[in-house]
Amino acid sequence: MSATKKLFIKTYGCQMNVYDSERMAEAMGGQGYVTTDSPDDADMILLNTCHIREKAAEKVYSELGRYKGLKAEKPDLKIGVAGCVAQAEGAEIMRRQPLVDLVVGPQSYHRLPELEARARAGEKALDTDFPAEDKFDHLAARPKAKRGPSAFLTVQEGCDKFCAFCVVPYTRGAEVSRPADRILAEARDLVERGVREITLLGQNVNAYHGHERGLAGLIRDLAGIDGLARIRFTTSHPNDMDDDLIAAHGDCDKLMPYLHLPVQSGSDRILKRMNRQHTRDQYFAIIDRLRAVRPDLHLSGDFIVGFPEETETDFADTMELIERVGYGSAFSFKYSTRPGTPAAERDQVPEDIKDDRLQRLQALITRQQRAVQDAMVGREVAVLFEKPGRMAGQMVGKSEHLHAVHVTAEGLAPGDLRRVRIVGSGPNSLSGVLI
């Protein structure tokens, strides 16, 4: 196959999809493909989809519709759909949009080269199985190209929690953890290629069981890798925040003081209806224990407003929880139905009430986020610089708390880790000077 073939990947959704897209590009690199930033000059277009947000499937069909003209101009162009919408919709995608040549689920993308070959031979290729083999065993070794200073590393996939609103157990399958030795080998390889910060990924990452001491044990082993300066992990479930993992936030210097710990609602009644299997007081207890071992911990969360049967009292409980915790950032959404999930069949909250509640919740989160950022002014932080900023001589990086920080100074380069004094707070970033 010609080495000039070009692959365009559009990635939707979470960091795990970003990681998956990287691995799919590497798999296709073995077939002679190089990535391109434009679909116009691509020989293959791949949409790596997410099924979490509202009308996710319709957005994919809309995007596919944009490629009709391009497909007419280039009959040899191959178009594929991957990810969670591919898993959920399967053959329906090909039925509704005949220009699609292949569909592959998130647990089968190691078979992408085979599917592409079948598509080149004129077949319609579909694979949405949950294969018995581990896809990571079948992916080609990562190329030795230089990497940026930060990287994602998937350690766990799937979820066994079955929250009433969520499709992940149906699209990603049951919880599966990668063996610790393979993760450590991949991490060492990333560090050799210039990575200084690794974010461990999983749909329910703190349920990781590929190490005898769970995620905490994996983090402690990763901390022993020379050259790896920072470790993060996302996304977590409160029920899997065990004693050892809480302790690691206090005694593992390389584990950053930032934690994304979704709660979804502050109402015990709604938490029960969501099948979250924890209470607000249990969530508070976890936060208190984490802050006892790491007082400067910044917290992020997820919130769903307008969940079926949510009353104004339930919503007030959520607002009170947010006030008490004091989040540095958060993600909030109106509830939207997912076919096949238990909550989809329940009495729905009117859209105008959802809109009103979302605006009030987001206003509170914005005030908290700005207060946390403003409180950083005058403090010293460590910044891992990643890329040039918009201004001449400016570099942008991330603090320990995941704040974006920009500094104007000569001699800075991606991968530099420097002490910075924060001198200004903007809407979405901090400004600083080198110490």
Domain boundary among 328, 351, 375: 375
pLDDT in tens, 178-219: 999 999 999 999 999 999 999 999 999 999 999 999 999 999
* Residue 99 and residue 59 share a domain: yes
* Residue 94 and residue 187 share a domain: no
Percent of the chain with pLDDT over 90: 77
* Residue 152 and residue 117 share a domain: no
pLDDT in tens, 117-167: 999 999 999 988 765 556 566 565 656 567 899 999 999 988 999 999 998
**How confident is residue 339, by pLDDT bands cut at 50, 70 and 90?**
confident
167, 304, 365, 371 from 358: Cα distances, Å: 22, 9, 10, 20
- CATH number, position 9: 3.40.50.12160
* Residue 88 and residue 157 share a domain: no
Check whether 159 is labelled as a binding-site residue: yes
* Residue 162 and residue 150 share a domain: yes
pTM for the structure as a whole: 0.80
* Selected residue with higher pLDDT from 355 and 143: 355
Assess if residue 136 is contained within a domain: no
Placement of tokens 């020989």 in the chain: 43
Phi-psi region of 346 (alpha: psi -120 to 50; beta: other; left: phi over 0): beta
* Residue 269 and residue 209 share a domain: no
Query: What pLDDT score does 85 carry?
Result: 85
pLDDT in tens, 35-85: 999 999 999 999 998 876 656 678 888 999 999 999 999 999 999 999 888
The token pair that represents 221 in the structure block: 């082993």
* Residue 265 and residue 210 share a domain: no
Check whether 163 is labelled as a binding-site residue: yes
The token pair that represents 364 in the structure block: 């509170």
Assess if residue 115 is contained within a domain: yes
DSSP state of 90: T
Check whether 252 is labelled as a binding-site residue: no
Mean pLDDT along residues 171-177: 87
Percent of the chain with pLDDT over 70: 94
Dihedrals phi, psi of 417, to nearest 5 degrees: -120, 110
Cα separation of 245 and 206, whole Å? 8
Least confident of 31-45, 86-100, 256-270, 308-322: 86-100
Nearest to 300 by CA among 331, 333, 276: 331
Q: How many domains does the chain have?
A: 4
- CATH number, position 197: 3.30.750.210
Could you list the residue range(s) of the whole structural domain that residue 207 is in? Answer: 144-256
Domain boundary among 325, 359, 375: 375
- CATH number, position 279: 3.30.750.200
* Residue 402 and residue 325 share a domain: no
Mean pLDDT along residues 16-42: 90
Mean pLDDT along residues 24-29: 89
Domain boundary among 256, 283, 317: 256
Assess if residue 358 is contained within a domain: yes
* Residue 195 and residue 174 share a domain: yes
pLDDT above 90 for 424? yes
* Residue 361 and residue 284 share a domain: yes
Query: What pLDDT score does 382 carry?
Result: 98
Cα separation of 46 and 9, whole Å? 5
Mean pLDDT along residues 91-112: 89
Check whether 84 is labelled as a binding-site residue: yes
Assess if residue 137 is contained within a domain: no
- CATH number, position 421: 2.40.50.140
Alpha helices in 30-145 (DSSP H): 56-65, 68-73, 84-89, 91-96, 112-120, 135-138
Assess if residue 214 is contained within a domain: yes
DSSP state of 230: E
* Residue 154 and residue 119 share a domain: no
Assess if residue 133 is contained within a domain: no
Assess if residue 283 is contained within a domain: yes
pLDDT in tens, 262-297: 999 999 999 999 999 999 999 999 999 999 999 999
Query: What pLDDT score does 146 carry?
Result: 73
> Can you give the length of the chain in residues?
435
Assess if residue 135 is contained within a domain: no
* Residue 190 and residue 174 share a domain: yes
Query: What pLDDT score does 5 carry?
Result: 93
**How confident is residue 107, by pLDDT bands cut at 50, 70 and 90?**
confident
Cα separation of 136 and 201, whole Å? 14
Query: What pLDDT score does 169 carry?
Result: 87
Per DSSP bridges, beta strands 394-398 and 380-388 are: antiparallel
Query: What pLDDT score does 1 carry?
Result: 42
Query: What pLDDT score does 135 carry?
Result: 58
